[in-house]
Amino acid sequence: MKVLALILTGTMLFLFSCKKDKGEITLTYNKGTAVYGNLDELRSSPLITAPTSIKDPGKIFIDDNTLLIGEENKGIHVFDNSNPNAPTPLSFIQIPFNKEFYVEDHMIYAETHYDLIKIDISDLSNPTIVDRLENAFGDPVFNNEGEAVIGFTYAVTTETFKVNSPEEQSIRNEGRLLVDYLNNSIPPSSVPSSFTSSSRENKGTLNKIALSNDHVYVIGGSRLYTFSNTNELTKTFSYPMFLEQGLETIYPENNKLFIGTLSSMIILDLSNPASPSRDGVYFHSTSCDPVLPIGDVAYLTLRTEDFGGCSGDENALHVIDITNTSSPLGHEQITMESPYGMQLINSYLFVGEGKNGLSIFDANDPLNLQKITNKPSIEVYDIMQHPVDPNILLMTNENGLQQYNIDYNTLELTSLSTVNY
């Protein structure tokens, strides 16, 4: 099975302001109040239901004839895409509290709150869970009735705290504060993070999960989780590897992991796949940043969003020489409007700029990109080439997934179909 993953990005709104007065500080922030539930009931939910409408889309995967679209916190919509002009809904895979998934070799790897599960989809009419690693991302946090935290409801809140209190530090470090049923602070490290996905072949760049050397690597918050995937899913660590705050994207290439953070690109060496080690780092100004390594060059987009969790003042595409991964060197910075995901296709670098359109660069000389055009009428957050028909490109935006036919001589795009959200 040939696979690719199209990845949408999600952002968490938070407002931050403060006023110091007599040892106190007033903060406006995103307050997360714990929601509790029965984990056993969630884990035993029926896997397959009838097709349903897409309301809150997440990650997207496509292979030869199948299209999978994630529904935030609920599961995955299954479509027959044998005719790209008219994708047909088939079913819905229920995965409670799932945000991200990864697909390879007829298997879905999905986070379902505390757990990591593996679903066999070789027969899409009868998918089955073949493995579940319980508490893969942390031990459950319970209330006084034995129910576990299964999520949070968020609201922008203004409160006053003591200066340098744990609550203030959590808000400064995380952009939020989590509280339990007694309104006591819950350390973010004690609850699962939100994860994202990718696939080894024809990956998107807005990913937080990667597969390499029979291991699955997942980033969340400031942590890298490593799982062996030889016979069954198993942890290869006692505790996750701590890197730095604001881990955003992950991409495997040449036995390395390239991790984009809010302030850097971290390169990890996978000589020992069960225990990644630091290799090199490239620092940049604070922004959201996907990373795309190709051979001896890495492309990194930096994006600033007001109230979108991407503080900073830079919107640019960085071209980085990674001939020596222990000492990556910035080669060029290209100013852009709002760069998100990107993909190198037929010596063209396609960069989605969200509402600012699709930018296309000539990448015949990978270190010296030449901008060819911007198509402002096409809203794009991530882009991917169809795994079977190279003349079909798939793009995601806020309203849905669009499939286009492309003429590589003229770079003209003709719409084939749209799956609306």
Domain ranges in the chain are: 20-41+138-190
What was the pLDDT predicted at 5? 35
| Percent above pLDDT 90 for the chain | 41
Cα distance between residue 40 and residue 265, in whole Å: 39
CA-CA distance, 377 to 379, in Å (whole number)? 6
Look at residue 371 and give its three-state secondary structure: strand
Among 52, 79, 75, residue whose Cα is nearest residue 65 = 79
Mean pLDDT of 233-248: 77
Q: Token digits for 176?
A: 């939020």
The model's pTM? 0.77
Q: Are 198 and 204 a contacting pair, CB within 8 Å?
A: yes
Q: CB of 287 within 8 A of CB of 262?
A: yes
pLDDT in tens, 80-92: 999 999 999 999 9
Residues near 65 by beta carbon (within 8 Å), at least 6 away in sequence = 80, 81, 82
Average pLDDT over every residue of 345-350: 94
Helix (H, G, I), strand (E, B) or coil at 167: helix
Q: What per-residue confidence (pLDDT) applies to 307? A: 44
Q: What residue spans of 29-106 are helical by DSSP H?
A: 39-43
Q: How confident is the model at residue 191 (pLDDT cuts 50, 70, 90)?
A: low
Instruction: Give 37-82 pLDDT, tens digit per residue.
Output: 999 998 999 999 999 998 888 778 888 788 898 888 899 999 999 9
For residue 156, the cross-strand partners are 30
Q: 249 falls in which pLDDT band (50, 70, 90)?
A: confident
**Cα distance between residue 279 and residue 291, in whole Å:** 16
Give yes or no for a contact between 421 and 399, defined as CB atoms under 8 angstroms apart: yes
Residue 288: C-alpha distances to residues 11, 77, 262, 311, 413 (Å) = 10, 28, 5, 8, 28
Average pLDDT over residues 250-278: 91
For residues 182 and 171, the answer to whether their CB atoms sit within 8 Å is no
Summarised one tens digit per residue, pLDDT across range 301-346 is 888 764 455 566 788 999 999 999 999 999 999 999 989 889 999 9
**pLDDT value of position 206:** 66
